[in-house]
């Protein structure tokens, strides 16, 4: 019946528009929630980015401050050297990593004198002439590392010397190296020779551990040089003779109870003869004196060039840098090299910086 029709209960009192409005409201609320969450996320990310930036910046300044700390320590050592001219492994600059807070960051510095290493650039003089004694030293060292000493040394010389009569013309630099890592570009030098390798249970270190490009000297520092470098200096330097130098340095001085024995320039030949006699196994007094006289010109007792490794940390942000300083005495320092290595960081880096010693570096390399 017409007129008796009534709106159904479902639609009574509500237009279809109201349902649509509800849906629209829900949609708007959802959109707004997404916007708020997004905004909050962006804000947090921006806060985080700006925090990271601030940490990076603090680390950057900490590295620069670390370099200044290193200079202060080396300058102080230079002043002490005036009374007792020697640079050795029991001095402040060398004995431990130096850790300093810089604002909210902290910086760790590890220092090594480059004079304990063999200068690869000195193989060839500016006049193009080879240094026969140093060439032989490199040959012995490379032989000792298990490779063909004369062959590998001649490849290095070809790479460095100005003449272009090279085994691989295109690749040779024909100029001194700026960093030891450039040895990687020398044609025909195996990676194992440069970086080391494992032979049965023994880790044979790589050539890069023993060479420098910085020191202007042809001598090595007898107070800091390692065993393989010492052994390479002469055909007569037996493992026992090299060991004798290390033992001498690690024995306390009878005249100064708490100090270690240190080689000094003026007394060097006599001290070396003493070392070979006392700690060199069965060397006769004549043999010890002869070897000491032969080897003295190969040594200095001072460090001129220092390599500084720096590690700055702020929270989880880390930055590394390397500096090489030439300590020119009263006039201060020349900065020969400075590189900030960014934030590529492994736990081993921290180990290396806080362990600091040659043995720690060797341990890290062994893991490779
Ligand atoms: Ca010193
Ligand atoms: Ca050449």
Could you say which ligand is closest to the alpha carbon of residue 123?
2
Nearest-ligand number for the alpha carbon of 169: 2
CB 160 within 8 A of CB 121: yes
Distance 267 CA to ligand 1 centre (A): 16
Task: Tell me how far the alpha carbon of residue 274 lies from the centroid of ligand 1, in angstroms.
Answer: 22
Listed by start position, the domains of the chain span: 60-115+303-367, 119-213
CATH class for the region spanning 119-213: mainly alpha
Ligand 2 centroid to 158 CA: how many Å? Answer: 4
Assigned CATH for 60-115+303-367? 3.30.1300.30
Ligand nearest to the CA of 264: 1
pLDDT at 313: 92
Q: What is the mean pLDDT of the chain?
A: 85
Q: From ligand 1's centre to the CA of 181, what distance in Å? A: 28
Over residues 209-230, the mean pLDDT reads 93
At residue 37, the pLDDT reads 86
User: Of 42-56, 207-221, 264-278, where does mean pLDDT reach its minimum?
Assistant: 42-56
74 alpha carbon, closest ligand: 1
- Report how far ligand 2's centroid is from the alpha carbon of 127 (Å): 13
- The predicted model scores a pTM of 0.79
- Are 123 and 160 in contact by the 8 Å Cβ rule? The answer is yes
Taking 90 as the threshold, does the pLDDT of residue 22 lie above it? no
Give 256's pLDDT tier (boundaries 50, 70, 90): confident
Separation CA 269–CA 291 (nearest Å): 9
Determine the Cα–Cα distance for residues 224 and 203; give it in Å rounded to an integer. Answer: 22
Neighbours of ion ligand 1 (CB under 5 A): 77, 81, 87, 91
Numbers of helices and strands, H then E, in the chain: 11, 11
Which of 15-29, 88-102, 336-350 has the highest mean predicted lDDT (pLDDT)?
88-102
How far does the centroid of ligand 2 lie from the alpha carbon of residue 72, in Å? 40
Q: How does residue 366 score in pLDDT terms, banded at 50, 70 and 90?
A: very low
Topology match between the domains 60-115+303-367 and 119-213: no
pLDDT in tens, 344-361: 545 455 555 544 333 333
3-class secondary-structure state, position 85: coil
Burial of residue 66, with CB atoms counted within 10 A of its CB: 0-12 exposed, 13-18 middle, 19 or more buried: buried
Give the distance (Å) from ligand 2 centre to CA of residue 150. 16
Confidence of residue 253 (pLDDT cuts 50, 70, 90): confident
The percent of residues above 90 in pLDDT, for the chain, comes to 58
Predicted pLDDT at 324: 95
Ligand 2 geometric centre to CA of 217 (Å) = 22
Of 201-210, 260-269, 276-285, 339-348, the least confident: 339-348
Give mean pLDDT, residues 208-230.
93
pLDDT for the residue numbered 251: 92
**293-309: per-residue pLDDT in tens?**
999 999 999 999 999 99
- pLDDT score, position 259: 85
The stretches of the chain forming alpha helices (DSSP H) are 16-81, 92-95, 132-144, 149-160, 191-195, 227-232, 239-249, 268-279, 285-295, 347-355, 358-367
CA 142 to ligand 2 center in whole angstroms: 20
Give residue 126's pLDDT.
86
Q: CA separation (Å) from 6 to 19, 67, 99, 290?
A: 21, 92, 89, 128
Mean pLDDT lowest among 157-166, 177-186, 283-292: 157-166
- What pLDDT, on the 0 to 100 scale, is given for residue 1? 46
Distance, in Å, from the CA atom of 111 to the CA atom of 327, rounded to the nearest integer, reads: 13
pLDDT of residue 332: 86
DSSP state of 303: -
Pairing of strands 118-119, 211-212: parallel
124-159 pLDDT, tens digit per residue, is 998 889 999 999 999 999 999 999 999 999 999 999
Kindly give the distance from the C-alpha atom of residue 218 to the centroid of ligand 2, in angstroms, as a whole number.
Answer: 21
Question: Which of these, 194, 185, 189, 118, lies nearest to 152 by C-alpha position?
Answer: 189
Instruction: Count how many residues are written for the chain.
Output: 368
């Amino acid at each position: 019946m017409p007129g008796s029709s009534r709106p159904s209960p479902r639609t009574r009192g509500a237009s279809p528009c109201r349902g649509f409005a509800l849906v629209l409201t829900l949609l708007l609320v959802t959109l707004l929630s997404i916007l708020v969450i997004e905004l909050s996320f962006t804000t947090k990310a921006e806060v985080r980015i700006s925090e990271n930036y601030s940490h990076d910046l603090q680390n950057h300044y900490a590295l620069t401050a670390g370099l200044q700390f290193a200079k202060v320590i080396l300058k102080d050592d230079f002043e002490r050297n005036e009374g007792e001219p020697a640079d050795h492994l029991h001095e402040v600059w060398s004995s431990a990593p130096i850790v300093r807070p810089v604002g909210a960051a902290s910086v760790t510095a590890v220092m090594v004198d480059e004079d304990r290493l063999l200068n690869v650039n000195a193989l060839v003089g500016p006049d193009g002439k080879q240094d026969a004694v140093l060439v032989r030293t490199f040959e012995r060292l490379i032989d000792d590392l298990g490779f063909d000493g004369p062959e590998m040394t001649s490849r290095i010389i070809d790479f460095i010397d100005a003449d272009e009569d090279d085994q691989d013309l295109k690749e040779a630099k024909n100029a001194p190296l700026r960093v030891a890592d450039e040895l990687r570009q020398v044609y025909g030098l195996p990676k194992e020779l440069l970086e080391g390798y494992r032979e049965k249970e023994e880790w044979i270190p790589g050539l890069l551990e023993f060479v420098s490009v910085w020191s202007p000297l042809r001598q090595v520092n007898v107070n800091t040089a390692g065993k393989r470098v010492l052994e390479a200096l002469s055909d007569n330097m037996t493992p026992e003779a090299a060991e004798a130098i290390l033992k001498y340095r690690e024995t306390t001085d009878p005249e100064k109870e708490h100090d270690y024995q240190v080689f000094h320039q003026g007394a060097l030949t006599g001290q070396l003869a003493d070392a070979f006699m006392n700690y060199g196994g069965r060397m006769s007094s004549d043999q010890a004196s002869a070897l000491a006289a032969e080897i003295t010109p190969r040594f200095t007792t001072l460090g001129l060039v220092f390599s500084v490794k720096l590690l700055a940390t702020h929270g989880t942000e880390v930055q590394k840098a390397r500096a090489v300083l030439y300590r020119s005495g009263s006039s201060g320092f020349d900065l020969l090299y400075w590189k900030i290595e960014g934030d590529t960081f492994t736990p081993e880096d921290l180990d290396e910086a806080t362990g600091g010693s040659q043995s720690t570096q060797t341990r890290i390399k062994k893991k490779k």
